[in-house]
Amino acid sequence: MNRDLITLGIETSCDDTAVALLRGENEILSDLTLSQTAAHSPFGGVLPELASRKHQEAIIPLIREALSGAGLSPRDAGLIAVTAGPGLMGSLLVGVMTAKALSQGWNVPLIGVNHLEGHMFANVLAHPDLKPPFLCLVVSGGHTEMISARANRDYVLLGSTRDDAAGEAYDKAAKLLGLGYPGGPAIERSAAGGDGGAFAFPIGMKGTKEVEFSFSGVKTSLRTLVERMKANGDEIPVADICASFQRAVTEALLSKASLAVRKTGVRKIALSGGVAANTALREGLTELGDANGWEVFLPPKSYCTDNALMIAAAGYAAYSAGERSDLSLAPDPDWSAWRES
Ligand code: KG4
Ligand code: ZN
């Protein structure tokens, strides 16, 4: 393990173009993210074709900016880590092709990183003491998965969502309420002024004996409620609906966190992915941990949503474990880093 190695991280799996420079395991030299939210929000979600075009425009200038901002030149980079999946094909292609070209041109080793393993590494960045075995609840716009990290880079999937991901549910609920995209932060803001007990939305998979999730029920229930109120000419109590929705989603996640701890006996749990920025979820997991004697790890909010630091950190760990990618590296929109238990 070379602790002075500088890793260039590149992340373009969805709608954020992100570049980071990391020295060793967790010394941050640069962390840049160019959000495409303004371009996509009129459409209420991410338009894949638009996303790849925007990445294409942004990626090289952003890499230049990261290097110059850190006072570095290409010859200082010792490793290039790039998200190779899962994600949108057109978006992933921009990052992967750029990384391959730079790896060849600069004569620097290349490593393809799994985006969700990257999300897990947002925790390692902030808490270098976090070592397996631990559990990690990955909650993003595309995934809701409970992972058991058994050993370094050995991950078992304990369970996932049967339908929508938690972030997707937030985004769809926000769209139904006319709150814009991305939905999670908008719902959280509105929920702050509402009563979480106002509406009893269903809690997906509550009481089942499996670590599994479902968020389509709560979404449908919210839609039915809003449609009924609109048909009756009622004023929509947006803040109360948001607070109640957030409570139902959070409870569903927390109840399965408890189940995963009971099933595995592992009393160390980390949170990651965009929804990990949600304060109700962070506080709920912290309280559960305090009450039950678990260690809880939360990444700083800024590392929860997509960023390239987490990709650089995961890439550095893989490289230190002896992994390498070659120029045959290709994006895999469905890549899973987990094995089934
Ligand atoms: O991890 P991420 O940035 O991108 C994916 O890999 O999907 O996650 C984005 C998701 C979106 O669905 C967004 O609505 C949700 O994370 N999100 C939140 C919050 N911030 C972002 N959900 C709830 N509360 C938040 N504060
Ligand atoms: Zn993500």
Q: Looking at residue 198, which CATH number applies to its domain?
A: 3.30.420.40
Q: Which atom of ligand 1 is nearest to the CA of 182?
A: 14
Residue 36 Cα, ligand 2 centroid: separation in angstroms? 14
- Give the SS3 label for residue 220: helix
Low-confidence ranges of the chain (pLDDT < 70): none
- 192 and 335 both lie in a single domain: no
End-to-end distance of the chain based on CA atoms, in angstroms?
30
Binding site membership of 85 for ligand 1 (Cβ less than 6 Å): no
In this prediction, residue 43 carries a pLDDT of 86
Binding site membership of 299 for ligand 1 (Cβ less than 6 Å): no
Report the candidate in 149, 153, 154, 129 with the shortest Cα–Cα distance to residue 138: 149
- 315 and 229 both lie in a single domain: no
Binding site membership of 188 for ligand 1 (Cβ less than 6 Å): yes
Residue 251 exposure: Cα atoms within 13 Å on the Cβ side: 17
- Residue 125 in any domain: the answer is no
Residue 308 Cα, ligand 1 centroid: separation in angstroms? 15
In this prediction, residue 2 carries a pLDDT of 85
- 292 and 313 both lie in a single domain: no
Residue 307 Cα, ligand 2 centroid: separation in angstroms? 8
- 114 and 171 both lie in a single domain: no
- Residue 140 in any domain: the answer is yes
Rg (the chain; Cα; Å): 20
Q: Output the pTM of the full model.
A: 0.95
Binding site membership of 250 for ligand 1 (Cβ less than 6 Å): no
- 273 and 309 both lie in a single domain: no
- 250 and 144 both lie in a single domain: yes
Tell me phi and psi for residue 326, to 5 degrees.
-115, -170
- 23 and 138 both lie in a single domain: no
In this prediction, residue 341 carries a pLDDT of 74
Binding site membership of 273 for ligand 1 (Cβ less than 6 Å): yes
Q: Reading across the β-sheet that carries 339-340, which strands appear in turn?
A: 295-297, 268-272, 134-139, 144-151, 154-160, 339-340
**Facing residues of 306 across strands?**
none
Q: Which atom of ligand 1 is nearest to the CA of 165?
A: 12
Binding site membership of 217 for ligand 1 (Cβ less than 6 Å): no
- Residue 1 in any domain: the answer is no
Residue having the nearest C-alpha atom to atom 22 of ligand 1: 184
- Residue 242 in any domain: the answer is yes
- Give the SS3 label for residue 36: coil
- 160 and 98 both lie in a single domain: no
Residue 179 Cα distances to 161, 165, 182, 191, 239, angstroms: 24, 19, 9, 12, 11
- 309 and 273 both lie in a single domain: no
In this prediction, residue 1 carries a pLDDT of 74
Residue 235 exposure: Cα atoms within 13 Å on the Cβ side: 3
Domain residues for 250? Answer: 130-302
- Residue to probe by mutation, ligand 1, list 170, 278, 279, most atoms within 8 Å of CB: 170
Residue 9 Cα, ligand 1 centroid: separation in angstroms? 20
Q: Where do runs of H (alpha helix) occur along the chain?
A: 37-40, 48-69, 89-106, 115-126, 166-176, 183-191, 216-231, 238-264, 279-292, 309-320
- Residue 308 in any domain: the answer is yes
Are 21 and 8 spatial neighbours (Cβ–Cβ below 8 Å)?
yes
- Residue 104 in any domain: the answer is yes
In this prediction, residue 28 carries a pLDDT of 97
- 82 and 149 both lie in a single domain: no
Total structural domains in the chain? 2
Residue 76 Cα, ligand 1 centroid: separation in angstroms? 33
Residue 184 Cα, ligand 1 centroid: separation in angstroms? 6
In this prediction, residue 284 carries a pLDDT of 98
In this prediction, residue 41 carries a pLDDT of 85
Binding site membership of 86 for ligand 1 (Cβ less than 6 Å): no
- Residue 146 in any domain: the answer is yes
Q: Which atom of ligand 1 is nearest to the CA of 167?
A: 12
- 45 and 138 both lie in a single domain: no
- Residue 233 in any domain: the answer is yes
Matching residue, tokens 């009481």: 207
Are 292 and 46 spatial neighbours (Cβ–Cβ below 8 Å)?
no
- 312 and 292 both lie in a single domain: no
All residues with CB under 5 Å from ion ligand 2: 140, 306
Residue 233 exposure: Cα atoms within 13 Å on the Cβ side: 0
